[in-house]
Structure 1
Amino acid sequence: MTVVLFTLGGTIAMAGSAEGGVVARLVGADLVAAVPGLADLGHPIDVRDARAVPSADLTYRQILDLVDAASSAVAGGAAGVVVTQGTDTLEETVFLADLLWPHPEPLVFTGAMRNPTLAGADGPANLLAAARVAAAPAARDLGALVVGHDEVHAARWVRKTHSTSTGAFVSPNTGPLGHVVEGEVRMLTRPRRLPPVPGVEADRLDAVRVALHTVTLDEDTDLVTNLFRGRDGVVVAGFGVGHVPPALAPVLGELAERMPVVLTSRTGAGAVLRHTYGAVGSETDLQRRGLVNGGLLDPYKAKVLLRVLLAAGADRAGIAAEFARRG
């Protein structure tokens, strides 16, 4: 059985250019050739170059196409799939893929923080670890995963928390699911696998518009109101456990009468509370005004989930139920 490798560019595939700096120039064959030990995996690597773009240039439609191609690879007998891409948007693309991935075979995303022209480039080690996880029976039935720094992270919880560190990807609320130790994939915990979101079509997903707004000190409510015009849904990254300035609370309440508004925390870890604080602009007040509690989901993943649910035709009750289950 093969492990199929899809390449999407990013730092892991970059090399120097005549104009200065690094650009995506390496194809999958180059990446595989640079990894000592990959030939000893026990599974041939089937390389399929998808596109070479910075991850900031990726779209939802491209990830849907990738999931379709990965599904075909698994249907054709692949033991698992590895995806290499830039790390800038990896925490969002892997979560989108996880919401759609129906197979027990691992779908493993990885990348690099240091490009191949630098000493200590981490791309080869990450690719080797990702291939090992994709081929490992222990990694089955866990959905889409992120592998980096010899750690295995769930798509639902992983965050990029540093702009340059090779250990940038962490799961603040849970820790990693497992590690790659001496070439062996060792899973330490197995969270409950949630079913994929059905009925998501690319054209409908393209048409859905969801805004994300991070609340800041002394918020300009007029600016916030203008930002939300023409949107199908909104994610609000509030203070702490889910608070906003009192003046913003009625604005969000009026908005929630017209479209789904999801309340998350801007802190990067921890949950939005449900019934602890009672002041105007508190989590209790905002839920009373119709906002959906985002739970433990960070704002970026909440935006992905809301857009996918709207594209799938979910109503308000369905959206609230999915956030209660996945958040």
Structure 2
Amino acid sequence: MSRPRIHILALGGTIATKPDPSGVMQMGAGADDLVKAVPLLATLADIEAETVSRVGSHSLSFDQIHALAAKIAASTAEGVIVTQGTDTLEETAFLLDLLVERDVPVIVTAAMRNPSLTSADGPGNLLAAVRVACDPWVRAHAQSLGVISVMLDEVYAAADVLKVHPTRLNAFASPQSGPLAALVEDRVVPLGLPVRDAMEATRRKLGRAGGTAQPVALLWMGLDEPGHLIDAMLNASDHLGYRGAVVGAMGGGHIPERLADVAARLAAAMPTVVSPRAGGGPMLRQTYGGPTSEIGLRKAGLIWGGRLHPLKARVLLETCLRAGLQRTAIADLFGAWG
């Protein structure tokens, strides 16, 4: 029985670091190095290893992920694995899911602990990702799964996966849906398929999201927020270069009442999406009154982000703007997310 061909694309991150003479970890390892560290991979698949960059994920750009998506789309392999840093994995995985539609597994993995540590998780995560890419259930449901992330023997949907701790080994989770599958011994145990209606509707409306980068501000709401940053954006002749904004709102979709006017002006100046600061889950639409509760904000023209985490809402809004969608189309698209 022939082994599947798996294409590993390495971007950098903790999984690809090496100690410098002082013992500090620096970027340096490439895709071949990652593969050599896991000899068992050769028994599972025919591996093609390609180093795309040696950049920490905190320094990746939207343009780089668009280029990576094109590379994934052009790959003739029977599965594609992206290795990168954990800092922005939840964002890059979601963007790849928006851009890539393949009938083979596309997996993003990383490491929380660097290779100098005795408990380094990079080799195990890469091995688990290859096992998942080769698994018959995953391969049969590749389109239904979309882009997935494999971390610490669990499989997560790109739309739901979040980094929920800065340093812990089990730093990743999907609070809304839980894992899609788990690895036990050498088996992939399915736990469920993601709800893909919103993603499929989004892809249809986005089409091929070309165009140039469109900066989107991320505005996190907190206790007694005065709104000075929003004022600065609105008072600048070019809005400080921003073309859209995402507001990480409190509770079910609320901001301080003192910001009612400035929020309405921001929504009039650029597409402005409200997303739950709590980290995901559908927001309210028609429960609370007042100018900066959900009813008032929606009447003021702010776009409701549904269940998307603010980080993912920012990714989607940038993609919409890059694709040239107008405000009404953007609102309709976000409406699919609850």
Scaled to the shorter chain, the TM-score interval is: over 0.9
CA distance in 1, matches of 2:186, 2:6: 16
Correspondence 1:177-326 to 2 at 5 A: 177-193=180-196, 194-195=199-200, 196=203, 197-201=206-210, 204-206=211-213, 208-227=214-233, 229=239, 230-326=241-337
Structure 1 SS opposite 2:225: coil
Structure 1 SS opposite 2:269: coil
Q: Deviations over 1:172-201 (max 9, x none)?
A: 111111111212222211124333331211
Q: Which residue of 2 aligns with 1:96?
A: 95
Letter in 2 for 1:205: T
CA distance in 2, matches of 1:294, 1:251: 19
Contact 1:11–1:86 (CA<8 Å) still a contact in 2?
yes
CA distance in 2, matches of 1:317, 1:227: 22
Deviation at 1:101, TM superposition (A): 0.7
Structure 1 SS opposite 2:223: coil
Letter in 2 for 1:247: R
Deviation at 1:219, TM superposition (A): 1.4
Deviation at 1:227, TM superposition (A): 3.6
Letter in 1 for 2:326: D
Q: Which residue of 2 aligns with 1:125?
A: 124
Letter in 2 for 1:270: G
Q: Deviations over 1:97-135 (max 9, x none)?
A: 100011121110000000010011000110011111222
CA distance in 1, matches of 2:233, 2:124: 42
Deviation at 1:20, TM superposition (A): 3.5
CA distance in 1, matches of 2:229, 2:164: 28
Structure 2 SS opposite 1:257: helix
1:82 counterpart = 2:88: no
CA distance in 2, matches of 1:161, 1:325: 25
Contact 2:14–2:85 (CA<8 Å) still a contact in 1?
yes
Deviation at 1:143, TM superposition (A): 1.3
Runs of 4+ in 1 over 4 A off after TM superposition: none
- TM normalised by structure 1 equals 0.94
Contact 1:263–1:272 (CA<8 Å) still a contact in 2?
no
Contact 1:205–1:307 (CA<8 Å) still a contact in 2?
no
Deviation at 1:53, TM superposition (A): 0.8
Gaps of 5+ in 1: none
CA distance in 1, matches of 2:195, 2:287: 28
Structure 2 SS opposite 1:326: coil
CA distance in 2, matches of 1:244, 1:192: 29
Correspondence 1:8-87 to 2 at 5 A: 8-41=11-44, 43-73=45-75, 76=76, 78-87=77-86
Moved more, 247-256 or 83-92: 247-256
CA distance in 1, matches of 2:279, 2:173: 11
Which residue, 172, 176, 180 being the options, matches 1:173? 176
Correspondence 1:95-114 to 2 at 5 A: 95-114=94-113
Deviation at 1:38, TM superposition (A): 1.6
Deviation at 1:36, TM superposition (A): 4.6
Q: Deviations over 1:198-241 (max 9, x none)?
A: 1211xx232x1211100121112233221452421110001111
- TM normalised by structure 2 equals 0.91
Contact 2:106–2:146 (CA<8 Å) still a contact in 1?
yes
CA distance in 2, matches of 1:314, 1:98: 19
Structure 2 SS opposite 1:6: strand
Structure 1 SS opposite 2:54: coil
Contact 2:180–2:193 (CA<8 Å) still a contact in 1?
yes
Q: Which residue of 1 aligns with 2:146?
A: 143
